[in-house]
Amino acid sequence: MMETVLLLLGVFSLAFLAFAKKKLTVSGAVAAWIVGSLVAMGLKWCGLFLLGIFFVSSTWLGTLSGKKENEVIEKGNTRDAAQVLANGGIAAILACVYLFFPSPILICGFVGCLAAANADTWATELGAFSKNKPFHLLKRQRVEVGTSGAMTILGSGSAFAGSLLIAIASIYFWWGEMDSKMLLLFALTVAGFVGHFVDSLLGAIFQVLYRCSSCQIETESKKHCGVATIRIKGVSWINNDVVNLVCTFGGAILGIIAGLILF
C-alpha cells in the first residue's frame, strides 16, 4: 500500500513539474497524472519507468536547440490532454487490465504501445534535422517537414532506435536476461516500428489537411494568418491526435501478438 502511495505522489510531482516547466498544459498535466497513476497501480515501478523513458526522451528531443517550429504542425511542444491520451491512453488501459489479469502478454502489449509512441516521436523530432525534405508516401514527391505521411531516412532510422530503446528497457525491467530474450527484443522493436509506419500511412491517407487562404501554406490548423483555413484533404475529425492513438493501438496489438507467440 505504501509503495502505491509513493508512486502516486511521484506521478503527481512529475506532472506538476512538467506543467511548471511548460511542457504540459493544465489539461495535459491532469491527463498525465491519470495515465501515470493507472500505469503505476498496474505495473508498478517498471511500468512507470518505461513510461518515463518515453516522456523524458520525447520531451527533450522536442526542445533541442536550433529546431524550427514548422507551420504545417497544428500544436507546439506543450502537450495538452488529447496529446497525452493519444500517446499514453492505450498503455494506461493495458496497465489497468494487468492489475486484474496479470500476464506477460499484456506487458508485451504495453511495451509495443510505448515503443510505437516513442518511434513516432523520435522520427518526427530527429527527422526534422534531415538535410533532405521528407518523401511523401502517396504523393511520391518531396514535401515540407512536418507533413503527415512523409518520411526521411534519418527519421526512419530514429524511429527504429526509439522503438529499440523501449524494447531493451522492457527486457531489463521484466525479464532480466537479455541473451535469452533476443527474439522477444526483436519482436517488440518491430512492433513499435511497424506501429510508427502505420501512423505515417494513416496520416498520408486520412489525416485532415488545410490550406491558408491568405498565404497558401498547407497546415493542420483550422486557422492561419488570422483567418479560417480551407480543408483540402482528409477526414475532418482525423487529426494528428487520432493518428497517434491508432499508432499506439497498432503497436499494442502487435506487441500482444508477439507475446502470444513467444509465451
pLDDT of residue 87: 94
Quick check: is 73 in a domain?
A: no
**pLDDT band at 148; cut points 50, 70, 90:** low
At what angle are helices 182-205 and 153-170 packed, to 10 degrees?
Answer: 140
β 227-228/223-224 pair status: antiparallel
Q: What is the mean pLDDT of residues 160-170?
A: 96
pLDDT of residue 75: 59
Pairwise CA distance, residues 58 & 70, whole Å: 17
Q: What is the mean pLDDT of residues 9-35?
A: 93
Q: Residue 258: is its pLDDT beyond 70?
A: yes
Report how far Cα 153 is from the mean position of its chain's Cα atoms. Answer: 19
Q: Please identify which residue in the block is written with the cell numbers 498535466.
A: 29
Q: Residue 9: is its pLDDT beyond 80?
A: yes
Quick check: is 185 in a domain?
A: yes
pLDDT of residue 150: 73
**Complete DSSP assignment for 94-145:** HHHHHHHS--HHHHHHHHHHHHHHHHHHHHHHHHTT-SSPPEETTT-SB--T
CB 32 within 8 Å of CB 15: yes
Q: Residue 136: is its pLDDT beyond 90?
A: no
Q: What is the mean pLDDT of residues 12-38?
A: 93
CB 196 within 8 Å of CB 119: yes
Q: Residue 13: is its pLDDT beyond 50?
A: yes
Quick check: is 122 in a domain?
A: yes
Q: What is the mean pLDDT of residues 115-141?
A: 83
The number of distinct structural domains making up the chain is 1
pLDDT of residue 64: 72
pLDDT of residue 70: 46
Quick check: is 104 in a domain?
A: yes
Reduced to 3 states (helix: H, G, I; strand: E, B; else coil), residue 218 is strand
Q: What one-letter code names the amino acid at 122?
A: W
How many H helices and E strands in the chain?
7, 7
pLDDT of residue 69: 45
Quick check: is 182 in a domain?
A: yes
Quick check: is 72 in a domain?
A: no
Give the range of the structural domain holding residue 219, as residue numbers without chain letter.
2-62+79-262
pLDDT of residue 248: 97
Q: What is the mean pLDDT of the chain?
A: 87
Pairwise CA distance, residues 179 & 8, whole Å: 34
Pick from 94-103, 212-221, 225-234 the range whose average pLDDT is largest: 94-103
Query: What is the pTM for the complete model shown?
Result: 0.89
Quick check: is 258 in a domain?
A: yes
CB 188 within 8 Å of CB 151: no
Q: Residue 118: is its pLDDT beyond 50?
A: yes
Quick check: is 70 in a domain?
A: no
pLDDT of residue 66: 47
Q: What is the mean pLDDT of residues 123-145?
A: 76
What are the tens digits of pLDDT across the range 62-117?
777 444 444 556 556 688 999 999 999 999 999 999 999 999 999 999 999 999 99
CB 4 within 8 Å of CB 41: yes
